[in-house]
Amino acid sequence: MKVSPFLKEERIILELKAKTKEEAIKEVASLLKDASEIINLDDFLKEVFEREKIGSTGIGKGIAIPHARTDNVKKFVIAIGKSEKGIEFQAVDKRPVKIIFLMGTPKEEGLDEYLKILAHLMRLIDKEAFRSSLFSAKTAKEIIEIFKSAEE
């Protein structure tokens, strides 16, 4: 299951202004305010924050994947935020997060697809060269191209 078909330039922010984890998640979520996949953005965000309370989605290596399975999403959606300085995210490796992948999926439908996308994303992120390319990307289009070429 590829990530690239779900990526859209208008859903990628290259210079997050946020200083905190909560601000960063909200800033990335703002990219989804007009997304047809989202039923209720505020409620989706509440569920993302509820998920964060269970444990940080800062998976290490400068990456965080805040997410929610929710009735406030019609179909899988993803938005990406980048921070040059990094944001304290209570990541497992204690390092600041430089890239946030905010994801949502319907609670009942599409679980299999979602788990496949998440597993695929994790495999990509595990590759040093892939992460380095993302960290140095200067445009949203470049981020999408990095995914496309990694998924070929």
Cβ burial, residue 38 (10 Å; 0-12/13-18/19+)? buried
Would you state the pLDDT for residue 107?
A: 85
Type of residue at 72: N
pLDDT exceeds cutoff 80 at 111: no
Whether the CB-CB separation of 35 and 16 falls below 8 Å is answered with no
State both tokens at 149: 């070429």
The answer to whether 120 is a known catalytic residue is no
Share of the chain above pLDDT 90, in %: 82
Q: Per-residue pLDDT tens for 55-96?
A: 888 999 999 999 999 999 999 999 999 999 999 998 899 999
Is 83 within 8 Å of 114 (Cβ atoms)?
Answer: no
Task: Give the residue extent of every domain in the chain.
Answer: 4-150
Residue (of 65, 45, 46) closest to 55 by Cα position: 65
Place of tokens 């998976």: 59
Query: pLDDT tens digit string along 24-37?
Result: 999 999 999 999 99
Catalytic residue among 27, 38, 58, 67: 67
Statement: residue 6 has pLDDT above 90: yes
SS3 content of the chain, % helix, strand, coil (to 5): 45, 20, 35
The reported pLDDT for the residue numbered 114 is: 84
Q: Which pLDDT belongs to residue 112?
A: 81
In 3D, which of 18, 20, 100 has the Cα closest to residue 65? 100
Residue 152, pLDDT > 90, answer: no
CATH superfamily of 4-150: Mannitol-specific EII; Chain A (3.40.930.10)
Higher pLDDT, 110 or 79: 79
